[in-house]
Structure 1
Amino acid sequence: MNSSVRLKWEFKNEEAVSGSSNIVAASRNQLLDLIEGDILTSHYQPIFSAKSCSAFGYEALLRSRNGEVLDNIPDLFERAKQAKIIASLDMKCRENAIKEAALLGLSNTQASLFINICPESILDPTHSVGVTDSLAEEWGVAKERIILEITENGAIHNYKLFQETINYYRKAGYRIAIDDFGAGYGGLKMLSMIEPEFVKIDRHFISNIDKAMVKYTLVDSIATACHRMGIKVIAEGVETEDELNIVLDMGIELIQGFLLSRPSASLDYGPSAVTFLDSKRVPASDKYSPAMDFIGDVAIRVGSINSDTSIKNALNMFIDDSCLKSLPIVDRERLVGMLYRSRFIEDQVVGKFGYGVHLNSHKNIGHVMETAFLSVDDNTTIEDVAHMVQRRKPDFMYDDICVTKNGKYFGLVSVSSLLDAITGKSIILAKGANPLTGLPGNEAIQREIEKKIAHNIHFDVVYVDINWFKPYNDYYGFERGDFVIKSLAKILSDTMESYMNDGLDFVGHIGGDDFIFIARPQAALQAAERVVRDFESMQPVFHGAVDYSRGFYTAKNRKDEDEIFRLLTVSIGIVSTEVHSIDSYAQLASRAVEVKSASKKQSSEKGRSAIVRDRRLM
C-alpha cells in the first residue's frame, strides 16, 4: 500500500492518552464512522507492460471521496488492528476497489485488478471467507483477473493458517502477488511458502537504482531468482527515465510509477506513457505465429472519423458504402467511440417515431456514438478475443471488434474474420495433433519448448511413459490399449486444468504411450505425483477385477513363451531448466534421454510407478 498518500485523520490528545482504553474506544468509533460512511473510495494506478506498451493491470489505492487527505495510511490500518476491526476496514477497501473498477469499465479492458490485502486481516477471527467471491460475481469481475497483493511489511504469526487461506483464494481462481517485497520481516519465507504469481519490488530499492550499486545488485538478484521460478516481477515507484532503463535491462517487464502515470479516479492514462514505453521497446523477434495467432494479424484498417463529424456526414458514409458495417471514432489517434450501421440508422436516423434525422441533424457524432464496445490490444490471442465475444450480450454478439496498438487505433475485425482465423489455426494445429488423443504432437511440443527457452523462463519438462504397455496391448487387445492411451491423455489434461495457476500450461502427445507436460519447477513434482495416483487408481478398469486382485497377468512374451507381467504403471522423468542452462530443444531432448532411462530402470527394479527428477538436482 502506498504510504506516500496523505489523509488528515486526527485523534485528540493522542500523545497524552495513547495507552488508555478511552483513546482506543474513540479511535474505534471514528474508524467505524469512516468504514460505514460514504467517505472512502479507490483511485487506480496503471501497471504497464513494457512488452505490449499498455496497462497490464491497475492497483487500487485508498483515497478519501471528499478530496481530503488521510495522513499516513499504514497508521490508519495499525489503528484498525488495535481496535480489532482490521478485517472490516480491509474488506471495505476491497469492496470499493472491485465495485468502482467495474463501474469505470474494467471489463472493457484486458487489464487485471490488483487489490491490497493485509495478512493481519486474513488471520483476523472476523475475516469472512467468500465475501470477495460474492463481490466479484456481483460486479461482473472475473476472479482470474483479480490479483491479491499481500503486503510483506507485517509479521505473520500463524503461517499455517495464512497459507491455508492463500491456498483457498488461489483455488478459487485468484492470483497472488507479494507487495513491497524486501521491505518487511519475512519476504523470502513468504516467497517460498506461497509461491506467488507476481512479486512487487518495494520502491525503496527502485529509487536511485541507477546510482546505488547495492540496490542494483539486490534487485538484479531478486529479479533473476523470480524469473527462474516463473514469477513475474513488478518494479514499483519508477520515477525517472534512468530507473526505467535499469529495470528494463534486468528483464523486468511490468512497471509502475509516477514516471508513466499517477493514480487517478479513472482507468484512463495519457498517450505519453504509451509513446514513451514504445520508444524503449525492443521488437520481439521470437513471436510464434505460423497461423494468425494474434488479433492484430487479422485486423483491417477501416477509415475513421472524429467526434466532431456531423451525423449527416456519417450517414452519407454508410449510404455511399453498403459494405461498411462500422465506423470507428478516433480523436488524436485514440479510439473514443463506435458507430454500428444498423443501430445508428435505427436509433439516430430513423428514431423511435421516425423523426430521428430531424431531431439529431444538428448534432455531432460525439453526442450519439457508442462508448461501450469491445476493444483489445493487437497482441491479444484470437482465442482470448473469441472468449470475450462469447460473453457479449446477444444484441452485440456480431459487432465488429476494435483493435488498438500501443493505445492507438489500429483496425477492426469482423466476427466472421475471427471465426475464419480460429478455424484456420485449428486446422494447422490439427494436422500436427495426435489422431487418437487430439493432443498437440511433436511439432507443437518443440515450438512450445523453444518459445519458453527464448523467453528465458525456467520450467520443468515432464516426460510420462506407460510401463509394460506392449504386452498389455498384445494381451488385452488394441481397443483396450487405445482406451488406456486416451485415459492417460485425459488424466494429464485434467491435471493441467487443476494446476493452470501454477504454470502447468501445456500437455503434448509425443506418440504411442509417450506424453509430455510443461510446468513451473515448483509445481512439476506435485503434478507428477497426481498423475501417478490417478493412473494407478484406474488399474481395476484397465485389467479387470481378477487380474487386478492377483496383481499380475500371464501372457506371451516376444519369444512366444508364457511370462508374468505386472500391472500397468507409469515412469516419469523430469528435466529442469532450473538446474541446467538449456539453450535449445535438441539439448533438452538429449538431457531427457538420461532421465527417462533412469525412471524406466527404477520402475523395472521396484515394480511400480517411478518419478525421477534430474539426478544432478537430487
Structure 2
Amino acid sequence: MDPIHHALPRPAAARAPSSNQDRASSHVNLAGILRERLLRPRFQPVVDLSHSRVYGHESLIRGPADTALHFPDALFAEARRQGLHPQLELASFRAGAQGFERHDAAGMLFLNLSGSALIHYWTLWGEEMPRRLLKDCELAPSSIIVELTEQDPLSEYMDEVASAFACLREYGMRVALDDYGVGNSNLQLWAEMQPDLVKIDRYFFDGIGQDARKQNMVRAILKVAQHLGTAVVAEGIETAEDLAVVRELDIRYAQGWFLGRPEEMLLTELAPPLRDSLRVRAPASAPQRAVGGTAASLRVEAPAALLPAHTNDDVHRLFIEHKDRHAVAVVDADNRPVGIINRRDFLEHYAQRYTRELFGRDACSTFMNAEPVLVDLNVSIDQLSHVLISEDQRYLMDGLIITRDGRYDGLATGETLVRSVTEMRIEAARYANPLTSLPGNIPISRHIATLLEDADDFTICYGDLNNFKPFNDVYGYWRGDDMIMLTAEVIKRHCDPQRDFVGHVGGDDFVVLLRSPDWMERARRIIAEFNERAIALYDDEGRRNGGIEAEDRYGVPRFFPFVTLGVGALTVTPSLCERIRPEDIASAAAHVKHKVKHGNLSLVTERYAGAPLPQLNS
C-alpha cells in the first residue's frame, strides 16, 4: 500500500489544487486518463532483511502530474464515485506490469487488486483472467505477486475469491493480503485463502520501537503466520528504530520510506549505508534477553591499544605477551573503538625486513582495519546471525569488538559467533524452519501424536529434492533458498489448510500430514507443479541443456538433470498403532522416501502396520 495514504503530511498540491491545477485538471478527467493511458507507475522496493537485498517492488500508481488526480487517494476516490474503479484498477495493474517489463527488472513485482475488482474480472473472464490481466505484457507469471487490498468486505464472497486465487496460482502467480490488521483484511480470509505472503499494516510499525503493546500485537500475528506457514512483510517502516524492532522480531521482509521511496526507476541494490546497517544491528528498545542469548556470552576480556599514545611496537609487545589473543582493539581517548588489528596480519607485516625500523614508532593505526564489526553487549545472538551472511567476511579472522554504551568492553572471535549461531539455529529449527517459517521437528512430532489419538486414517508424506545439491553448488545458496521456498509454496498450495499439516524438517526435506481423502491426487499435483516450475530457476543455458554440469559427491564432473521432487507416502491407521511413537511413524515414512530415492521414482506409497509393507503403487 502506498505510504502517501497514511504516513507523511500530503503536499499542499494534493490538498488544495491551485488555480493552475484547476485549469490543468479541467482538461484531464478520469475517463480521459484511462482512455489516453496517462497512468504512471512508481516502484517501491520490498527488502529482504535476511540477505540485505531488494526482494521485489510494489507498483504504486500516479495520475498526470500537476492535476487533482495525481495522487492515488484522489484518483481512486474519484474512480469509486464514478463507478470506474474496476477499470482504473485494471489499467493500474497493466501499467505496473508493463513498466516493470520495460525496466527488464529482476525480483518480484507486487500488483494491487481490490476484492471487488478481483471478483469482477473473475466473473467476467473466468480461467482467462490472469492472461487478460497482463494483456500484452510478457512478464513471467512466477515473478508476480497479486496483492488483495483491504477496501472491500469479502466474507460473503469467499468461494469466488478462492476460485480467483486458485486461477492466479494455477497460472503461476502468487497472492498476498495487503494491510493485514485494519480494514477488511481478516483472519478468516487469511486462514481460508492461504496467501503466500501477508503484509502487516503500517499502523503496527509506526513507533513500534517505543510501543510494547504494538510489539505484542505483532508477535501474536507472527505466531499465526508461523502456524499457517505464511511469509510476512512489515509495511510502513520509516525510522531506524522501527526497523531495528522489525529485525528483532525476525521478520524477513519489509517495506517503507526508510528502505526506499516510490520512484520511477527501480532500485536494483540497497544504498551502501543501509546495506551496511543491516549487517549488524544495535539493540532495539525491547526487554533485554538473558545474558546467555546475547553477545555478552561471546565476550572475552582483552587489553586495547590507545590512539595516539600506543605505537606499533606497543602492539607487537602486546601480542608477544598475550599469545592467545587473536586481535587487539584500537580505541580513542574516550574508550570508543576506532579499529581492530588482526594478529596474523600484523605479525606477518612485522616479520618483513625493515618494517619495525620504518613503522615501529608510528601510531598503532598503521595496520588496523578501520571498519571493525561493532556489537553491543545486549545484542541477541539471533540478531548476530545476519553477520554471517554479510558481504564483509573479515570478522571471521578479525573477530568482533564488544561494546557497552558505545565504549569498548571486550572482544569475540568469529569462531565463537559461528558456533553460537549454529547451535541457536539448530535448536530454533526444531520448532520452526527459519527460511520457510514452516513448523519444524517438534511441532511435526506433536501433530503426529495428535493424529495417532484420533480414529481416522492419515497419510504422512516425506518429500525431498533430487539433484538439489549440485543446483545449490552451481547457482549459490540464494537461488537454492528460492528453490526451497518454491517447494514450500507448491506444497501449501495443494494442501487443505483445514485438514492438512505442512512441516519443514530442514534443508530440502518436507513432511506433510494429510487427512484429505484425495491425498494421493494432491501429492501427484504437488510433484507435477514443482517439477514444472523448478525449471524456471535455471539460467537459459541450463534450461536448453535440460540440466547442469557439476561435481558429484566424489568430485567427478557429470551431468545432473533438473531438480525434481520425490515423495514417499505412508498411510497410517491409528487403531492399528497402539504403543507406536510419533518418531516411529516418521522413521517409517523416511524409509519409504529412501525407496523413492534409490528407485529413481517420483511417488511411492505404503500402508503402515508397525513395519513397512510392500509397495502399493508409484
Which range, TM-score by smaller chain? 0.3 to 0.5
Normalised by the length of structure 2, the TM-score is 0.47
- Could you tell me the TM-score, scaled by structure 1's length? 0.47
